[in-house]
Structure formats: structure tokens, C-alpha cells
A and B are shown apart, each in its own frame.
Chain A
Amino acid sequence: DADVTQTPRNRITKTGKRIMLECSQTKGHDRMYWYRQDPGLGLRLIYYSFDVKDINKGEISDGYSVSRQAQAKFSLSLESAIPNQTALYFCATSDREAHTGELFFGEGSRLTVL
């Protein structure tokens, strides 16, 4: 089983619908992140959390919200989806004790907004 699991893996929805992407991890890491990836662009950080009570906006947080329900769970919500939120979304974790700051990614959630 994957250490970082994302659900759903694929989702097609309509403009205006509320969508939640979920992420759970078994790595025991404190730090969790949500990124989106678009063709021709680098990964862009949406939100990140260094602890259960810690939520921080990333580069492109507008139109998104997150919830850190537990150390192992970090969910991303799109309150009212729009077509330009069509993208591949990745959850990632990192260990605050690791000096390299290496990220461990989930398999990705491909979201299509019609």
C-alpha cells in the first residue's frame, strides 16, 4: 500500500459543484502539502500544514480551502469548482527532522471541471 494515499484518483465535475480531495499518510510525518500541476508549469503550492493546528496559504490558495483533521489526514476543498481548476493535484508529506526536506508525494488526483 502507498504511504501517501489520495482519493479520488480521478474526478469529473461541473462548474459550481463542491469537491473534496482527501489525503492520508502512514509515514508519521508532521508536514503535509497540497500542490497542483498544470502542463508547462511547475508544481504550485496551494496550502501547507506543519502540524494539526497549523494551516498556511501557499502561492495559489484562492478558490481552495483545507482541513487538517489529524496528523495523518489533510483534505483539500474546492467550494465552487471552476474550469480553470482542472489540473492534477498532489498531496505530499515531509519529515521536519529530515535536513533535506525531501517530499513524499501521493499518486495524484486528476480533476476535470466542465
Chain B
Amino acid sequence: GQNIDQPTEMTATEGAIVQINCTYQTSGFNGLFWYQQHAGEAPTFLSYNVLDGLEEKGRFSSFLSRSKGYSYLLLKELQMKDSASYLCALMDSNYQLIWGAGTKLIIKP
């Protein structure tokens, strides 16, 4: 079967860097997604990794290690608006998305 784990909640300080980890077990893999979801709003796409390595997009970067079943989302120069839940999701061998429960990130001044 498939399983995704990510921390329930994290706290960080405005201007700092935070890394949100996601570990997974799956028999088939077609990519790893990160989405951002502000409270009461729809999830929005942040990143997609299918090959090992780091993908950088502005203040946000996403890393994947397929052999370790591990990904992280790195947020730099944190802003108050980055307070949100961050959802990790893997695309399985049937191209279906399996979602983690999300990590609630709290940014403090």
C-alpha cells in the first residue's frame, strides 16, 4: 500500500528558513507534489518533482530522493503570508494522487 507522513504542525519566525519534510512508502511512483492551502481556501500548486534533486522556484524549493522515499519543501525569507498548511502528495502508478494530512505552518513575528 501507500503511506505519506508529514509533521502536523511547525512554527517558524518571520524572515527565517523552514524545512517541511514528507516521507512516503509506495509501490509505484510518478511524482511528488507540494500544495499550499491557506485556512478556508483551496489548495494551490507549488511544486512537482519526479527526478531526484532540488527544484528551486523563488523563495520556495522542493527536494526529492526516490531511493529514500523522502521529500522536503524549503521556504526561505519567511513572510507572514506563508502561514498556511502545506500538503504533500504522491502520484502513484495509476497516476492517482495520494495526499498527506498536511503540515500547518505558523509564522511568528
Contacts and interface: CB of A to CB of B under 8 A. Distances in A.
A43 B31 contact: no
B33 to A, nearest CB: 8
A59 to B, nearest CB: 9
Interface residues of B, number: 24
Given A102-B48, A105-B43, A108-B41, A41 B101 contact: yes
B45 A42 contact: no
Contacts of A42: 4, 87, 89, 98-102
A107 interface: yes
Interface of A: 40-45, 90, 100-108
Contacts of B48: 100-102
A105 B35 CA distance: 11
A93 B81 CA distance: 26
Contacts, number: 48
B42 A44 contact: no
B106 interface: no
B42 A105 contact: yes
B104 to A, nearest CB: 10
Contacts of A101: 30-31, 33, 48, 91, 95, 97
A105 B45 CA distance: 9
A101 B75 CA distance: 23
The 3 closest A-B pairs by CB, nearest first: A42-B99, A105-B42, A100-B48
Contacts of B87: 42-43
Interface string B34-51: 010000111111001000
B108 to A, nearest CB: 23
B76 to A, nearest CB: 23
